[in-house]
Structure 1
């Protein structure tokens, strides 16, 4: 006893309870109800038995109110329960959280098993869900051609958007052959590629009625569909395997019709909004075009050939003036250098530099001659200009215009009366020839 701890009964039962929960956990069972009791607390207590064994069960009020029926002694049921231990009496029992009549229960168990299988394979993964097209024009409907679901869908689509094109893929939606037909119609729709979205569904019913949409062949056909699918099976509370695999689940066929269509009034409002948006966008675009046009017009003016020519002419005149000054400076520098070299040559006359310096002198002489020629040409031009200006102020030019010049005996131009005396001979020069006159009288 010294090497081990001593447990209380409570601790032992708690340990056994934890072991049962961890080792077995949650299970599905089928059995017959017996010793059913429902005390004022609202909890259910009963035994679940088969031909050779039984186990005590408890289903608490927060779970049994969802059962939808009250079990009876002798009734076969399918239950989902957690194996645990009732610590007060040390008896193991089942705590049930879901109960169904055995017939529906077997289908539910089959449903859960297939759901778990397909979920493990990734058929329910959101990454494979296709979004519904934005602009749906053609809708494919896979359902019974005589069912109320088709009538409801067509009525709603006609009311909301009469322009939609409907393609019916008729099929059985209940019975042994229904699942195969539904899968085949999904494949046919994908082969034809004539619709934008597929609605797959039927009206409400029991679990057995909806079972075609819980078949694996239908689930895999929906998953393989390249056309986006909408599952619309039963009522809002009904869920099928098709709902989990489809790209979109609609609570009812009518809800599916509303999902894939746009209301006419909403479309008109959207069109008006888009029209307004388009008008604003066009105004903004035209404003941008005008701004670009003005910018290009200004750019064209600044880059016009005439503008460029004027700019280049100004640059040419600037360069010409700069070149003239550079030539003058160069001429002055070269003259100074020539004088310097000439003096240096007089001082130092090494024979090995004579040839080189002679060539250099000839080059400079030629440059000097060119500059002198240019200078002479410019001086001649100035001489002609000044000669023309001198000729304009020459007395001979005055004579050419009809005037005369008088010279006294002192060979001085007579401008005043005091410059001559009575009896003196004077000479008057005309345009052609001259006159010799004698002064007879002087009038001041």
Structure 2
């Protein structure tokens, strides 16, 4: 699978886990249609109403409640005077039926379906009717809303357990708690889980656990039983106590097929008391596996980090070698060797060129310097030497005279320039001395600043009682304005 791209099977598996986790057990009412009874013993049908249809499968292994001749309802525990017909016989196309089970996904067809566990006609007993009425009322009040439910902490260390201390559920829960997680403290809040006193005791236990505020999560558990046995958990007072609990509540009441109002109101529903412990604490083997995986991941990360650092170190070493003085000297030596070779080649070429030129000149000289030409040129040379000897003293005298004049002009100009620069320097020194802010202070004046550091130029800038700073030539004075008296003439000018 590429990053971000799922295969059809992977997506279908994620949808299946999501649906099974969201709908572990639901009741659905609808009209039976498309009923099929193949030889495998499984039963396939659809539940439909006016607007929707749900595919259902009732596997043979889940048809235990369909035994013929039972004189009681295995769901509600109601006892009847005569044996009731099997739901297998009642299941017909067009009948209104109630089916209970979990929602899953059938991967080969990519469709969701209901895995049926219980089937009964739509007619219900008085307790079931009361249950549905309370369920409707609490649902309208928002007791079952998913957005208000909180996830319990993972691997909690402090757990408040509300159950009967003499029941089998508490032993199953504690046994699993002892073998799972990283160790936790469990505080038992005993309460009856069946009978008339059960609901008030459960409510008091919930309130006490919240008042103590010791636990991280509250666990409410009870073993299986009939609808009458579990009726305390269908009382509105218990559902209200669960709803108003400040601590998250995990409910594991009865068997997987048992669903109470407390289950639906709780922040997390467990199928059984043992399942509640499984939801709270992971297997120790899983924790060890996570630890091993974390250690392996840490080792891999350390190895990767070490490899990256070694690579960076090698890069820096290479860079250091490249910029080191020794390497720099080596590069200069290589460059000097190349330049020396180039220079030798250029020198040889230059000498060869000059040799050819010299040979040509020598040939020309030999051809040009005959005895007659040599005498003529010797005579010409004598004349030029005589003219040079006559003109050289005169040129030297003229050059010395010109040099003397230039020297005199330079001395005159230099003196004038120095004199003008001296006058300019004296003028700048005078202006600088006049601009010195401390010069008036040495003559007895003072520089006054406000407490904020601003220069005080007018009496209007201050008031009696304000702090000022007086700067004198040799230091500072901290003072407080006693009174302010504006100058009359100055004030008149300002008013004008």
Shorter-chain TM band? 0.3 to 0.5
- TM-score, normalising length: structure 1: 0.45
- TM-score, normalising length: structure 2: 0.40
Larger radius of gyration: 1
